[in-house]
Each structure stands twice: as C-alpha cells, then as structure tokens.
Amino acid sequence: MSEEMMRLGRERRFLVLLGIICLALIGGALYMQVVLGEAPCPLCILQRYALLLIAISAFIGAAMRTRRSISVFEGLVVIFALAGAAAAGHHVYTQFYPAVSCGIDVLQPIVDGLPLAKIFPLGFQVDGFCETPYPPILGLSLAQWALVAFVLTVVLVPLLISRNRKHLN
C-alpha cells in the first residue's frame, strides 16, 4: 500500500469519527429535549442542521477514494462548521444578553419550513426560546459547548489534513 493511500485512509477514518461524533451530539440534544424537557429554539435547530450536514459530508468524504474528492468534502465540513459556529455564537450572545431576542418570530417559520422539520418534527421543529437558561453542563451552557465543538472542527479539520498531507506532493 502506498504512503498516499495510508494517509488518505487515516483521513477517511478521521472523517468517520467526526461524523459519528456529530450524530452523537444530535442524539444528546434529542435526549435533552425528550427526556429532560429542554425545548429547542430556532438557533438550536440550525445547529442541529449544521451537525447533520457535517456528518453527511464527513461520511461521504470518507467514502471517496481520491485526494481531491476527499478534500471537497472536508471543505464542506469546514463550511458547515463555520455556519454552525455562527449560529452557536449568536445563541451564546443571546443567552448573555436575554433582552436580545433570537428572532423566534422571524426565524421560527423559516426553520419550521425546512424539509426535515416536516419529515422529523421531533428533532427539527422549533419549540423554545433562545434566551431560556438551562442548567450548565460542566460549567458551560449547551450553546457554549456547541460553539466549542464547531470552532474545534473549523480549526482541527484543516490542521489535521495539512499535517497528514505534509509530505505528499
């Protein structure tokens, strides 16, 4: 097996792991919603979409065989993570300044109009307010943890790719 194939195999395994982590985060959000009764706001739902799109891009990228095709999906992962970071960042801001609405009156019909809200309403339909304070997890709110996860994805994916491909032509 060539060195390039071994390195691309490492990237594919990383992408599978990233996809699994994103699906686990969505599962955790659903657990908090269904079992703990924490209703998702429009920004929560947008973050779930970002996680889902990252997972789908990561899994498709992991199925690719060429460096270029894997790179395309890794690029999509970063783009969707940036979008998730924007939603999570605004959510964190809204929680720090509750007088600022998350735009439930504006965002809710848009988010609820997206296809997954109709197909899987439990997971992708708005039911709460962004400024609602829920108990922190290890000192951070769920929005703060989401922001950390998205920023780590934005930073680590390109870093790990560049380190992995360092010696490839």
Task: State residue 1's pLDDT score.
Answer: 61
- Sorted by where each begins, the domain ranges of the chain are 3-164
168 has pLDDT over 60: no
98 has pLDDT over 90: no
Instruction: Return the structure tokens found at 23.
Output: 């699906």
Task: State residue 100's pLDDT score.
Answer: 66
Per-residue pLDDT, averaged over 119-145, amounts to 82
Q: How confident is the model at residue 7 (pLDDT cuts 50, 70, 90)?
A: confident
The residue to which tokens 């390039």 are assigned: 4
Average pLDDT, the chain: 86
Prediction pTM value: 0.88
- For residue 84, the one-letter residue type is G
CATH homologous superfamily for the domain 3-164: DsbB-like (1.20.1550.10)
Per-residue pLDDT, averaged over 65-86, amounts to 92
Task: State residue 81's pLDDT score.
Answer: 97
- For residue 46, the one-letter residue type is L
Angle at 78 between CA 167 and CA 158, to 5 degrees: 20
Q: Give the residue, 163 or 101, on which the prediction is more confident.
A: 163
Instruction: Return the structure tokens found at 159.
Output: 């870093």
Task: State residue 104's pLDDT score.
Answer: 61
Reduced to 3 DSSP states, what percent helix, strand and coil does the chain have, rounded to the nearest 5?
75, 0, 25
Give me the phi and psi of 137, to 5 degrees please: -115, 115
Per-residue pLDDT, averaged over 44-59, amounts to 95
Paired with 137 in beta bridges are 140
Rounded Cα distance between 134 and 83, Å, is: 23
